[in-house]
Amino acid sequence: MAAALRRTTLKLGMIPADGIGKEVLPAAQHVLQALGSSLPKLEFVPLLAGWEEFQRNGKALPDETVRCLKESCDAAMFGSVSSPSHKVAGYSSPIVALRKHLDLYANIRPVTSVPGLPGPRVNMVIVRENTECLYIKREELQTAADGTRIAFATRQISETASTRIGKMAFELALTRGKERETARNNGQEVLWKGKPKVTIVHKSNVLSVTDGLFRESVRAVKEGAAGRYDGIDMEEQLVDSMVYRMFREPEIFDVAVAPNLYGDIISDGAAALVGSLGLVPSINAGDSFIMGEPVHGSAPDIEGKNIANPIASIRSAALMLSSLGYIEQAAKINIAVDAVLAEGTYLTPDLGGKSSTTDVTEAILKKL
């Protein structure tokens, strides 16, 4: 998380990609524009990527998109991608490729209850390693002697990637602890009562080499930090136990750090705790670039119907701003979103309402 830089223009790459990404990303752009002079002058750069782009031009991630993000943009927003469930020659997911090109090694996904609404009290962040695990996409199909097919997938876990995602998790826990202390001193209610905590998610009882290395590397971050993280509790959860306890007692988790595949699964599952995937934001973060991305997919069943929930995208824009150092502006967005959800007048169908994408966006704009 960076302090806001003194800049006159904030240049944001906008990559709607596929499906409802083309509907929710404009909603996020409208909200960013509504912040007006509290931000530098905003310049939005439309960029191409996705399955539809692959079908048109044979490349899911054009070189020009990568070049523009690297050379011209201060940050970016991504919509959603429609990757086919079967193998298509020449196609690979553009979001996975973007994470690698820009070295966006952390996917940070906060899952937070809306104050005043019924349901579990959740205030956790899932920190997902973004570059390795099974998502390196090294697969092979072989034919056995009896003619049957056998598929293999290579899983990569490195000490380097595991260490830096571990450091990201502990630094985030440190920041959250300071923010809670400030809130308490200002008389605000804080859901988390104890010390900040990092939960290491793994399955090293079975995958003792790969998950074992992940576990050891993350533990070593705290143990080798010369006391910097002494105020942070550290625990471990096997991934299956993590899923069970996350649904039974979500209030016990603060910051959870996981390899790529586990982080993807548990963060999507955690969205059920707060009502919908349409509410949960994320950022893809590296040491020098931030890209906001709603957690949900491209939802082709509702594409073009103007009923997609724009809140995950809007909150992702807020998370992007906060990561760039524009903390007050991000807070304004989140307060407006929470107010709309708490009132319950404008809700999209995924939340049991009948409002359109446009209705919800306009309601948030009015709160701003």
pLDDT at 198: 98
CATH number for the domain whose boundaries are 1-104+292-368: 3.40.718.10
DSSP code per residue over 239-269: HHHHHHHHHH-GGG-SEEEE-HHHHHHHHHH
Distance, in Å, from the CA atom of 281 to the CA atom of 290, rounded to the nearest integer, reads 13
Q: Is the dihedral of CA 231, 237, 243, 245 positive or negative?
A: negative
Structure tokens at 221: 């971050």
pLDDT at 43: 97
pLDDT at 5: 57
pLDDT at 120: 83
pLDDT at 187: 78
What is the reported pTM?
A: 0.89
Residue boundaries of the structural domains of the chain: 1-104+292-368, 113-285
C-beta of residue 209 within 8 angstroms of C-beta of residue 228: no
HSE on the CB side for 360, CA within 13 Å?
A: 33
CB atoms < 10 A from the CB of 11, how many?
Answer: 17
Please state whether beta strands 149-156 and 133-143 pair in parallel, antiparallel, or not at all (unpaired).
antiparallel
CATH superfamily placement of domain 113-285? Isopropylmalate Dehydrogenase (3.40.718.10)
User: Which residues of the chain carry a pLDDT beneath 50?
Assistant: none
pLDDT at 114: 79
C-beta of residue 318 within 8 angstroms of C-beta of residue 345: no
pLDDT at 4: 54
Fold match, 1-104+292-368 / 113-285: yes
CB atoms < 10 A from the CB of 345, how many?
Answer: 12
